[in-house]
Amino acid sequence: MGGAWFFPIFLAVLGLLPVTESRASDAFGYIGNAARLPSGTTIVDARPEQACLRRTVRGARCLPAADFLGPHGRLASFREIYWLLGTAGLSEKAPVLVVGDDPSGRDFVAGMLYLCGQFRVSILTVPVSAGAGLSQDQMGQGIGRGMTRHPIYQGAVRENRIVLRGELAQELAAAHPPLVLDGRNEDEYWGERIRAMRGGHLPGAQSLPMVKVRAQIASGIVQIPPRGGLVAYGDSPFESVAYFTLLRAGAGADARVLPDGWSDWANHPGLPLDSVAYPDAFPAHVARLPDGRTDSDLLAFFAILAVLSAGFFYLGKRSR
């Protein structure tokens, strides 16, 4: 054997491990070939319904990412999601293969199925638009959702993979807080771009953008701190769950997810932040003039001038 054992251990210490299908959780992982799936696997297409109904893996269930979200991109309740999964014809006991074109949409749907307690969730990395790596006779029309549940979905939520806002606030205030990974772009991490009431990042969070992790996984080496219990978040529920899936299923990381994401945290003034920033006092549509004034300043000036003119006119009439 010689020193053959040393190199993998050295990589593990650095957090630089080659990404293979065997590293992913037995119940949750990426695959590059759909031909080796166990019998009875249910195919789920995460693309918009019309694209799925038109052409997908034959017999795939159409389950778009948007179906899991309510107004303003908020995550639906698990009760509502379980009804959704039942109308899509899913059983929690069956292995599922999630396919799609957009990696984030595909990963979000896969992550939601995993968190809802699906027995096994595999994620096909070959896009459907590229044939999903299958023969032409394996492609066909998808199946839309029904009006009622059949069967009734009875999965058990994987609560150990979810951390809620209040729970994470307590953990971050403890003596040994978890390591938090921020999957947003660096300009959002530093508060240079703000999509919520405040900008910045969670206390102690490390920046590891989603796009960077995807590139590392594609290269076969991913740089994730070698610690268990990581907490992952993006800006929204959609981004947070997709990022969690990328880390857990794609890189095999022992991760949890803050499902409501950064915007929910930042919109609660009592919660702490690092690199805190606030939106510009002037709305984006207000133009600044060269001398530092804005077009709103000019409008206010002319409004005051009009009021004064009307007053003088009225007083002039009364003095006659």
Q: Is residue 17 part of a domain?
A: no
- Are 46 and 139 in contact by the 8 Å Cβ rule? The answer is no
Same domain, 140 and 215: no
Print pLDDT tens along the chain (320 aa).
334 333 333 333 334 444 434 344 569 999 998 877 788 899 999 999 999 999 999 999 999 999 999 998 999 999 999 999 999 999 999 999 999 999 999 999 999 999 999 999 999 999 999 998 888 889 999 999 988 888 899 999 999 999 999 999 999 999 999 999 999 999 999 999 999 999 999 999 999 999 999 999 999 888 887 777 899 999 999 999 999 999 999 999 999 999 999 999 999 999 999 999 999 864 444 343 344 444 444 445 445 555 555 555 555 555 55
Domain identity same for 255 and 128? no
Other CB atoms closer than 10 Å to residue 301's CB: what's the count? Answer: 11
- Give domain status of residue 142, yes or no: yes
In this predicted structure, what is the pLDDT of residue 305? Answer: 55
Is 76 in the same domain as 169?
no
E strand segments, the chain: 16-18, 28-31, 42-45, 56-57, 61-62, 95-99, 120-124, 139-140, 180-182, 199-201, 206-207, 221-223, 230-233, 255-257, 274-277
Minimal CA–CA distance to 179: which of 276, 234, 255, 243? Answer: 255
Q: What is the CATH number of the domain that holds 98?
A: 3.40.250.10
| Residue 105 shares a structural domain with residue 193 | no
Has residue 283 been placed in a domain? no
Query: Has residue 300 been placed in a domain?
Result: no
204 and 264: one domain? yes
Same domain, 84 and 107: yes
> Per the domain annotation, does 309 fall within a domain?
no
Do residues 94 and 183 share a domain?
no
The Cα 82–Cα 75 span in angstroms is: 13
Domain that residue 52 falls in: 23-159
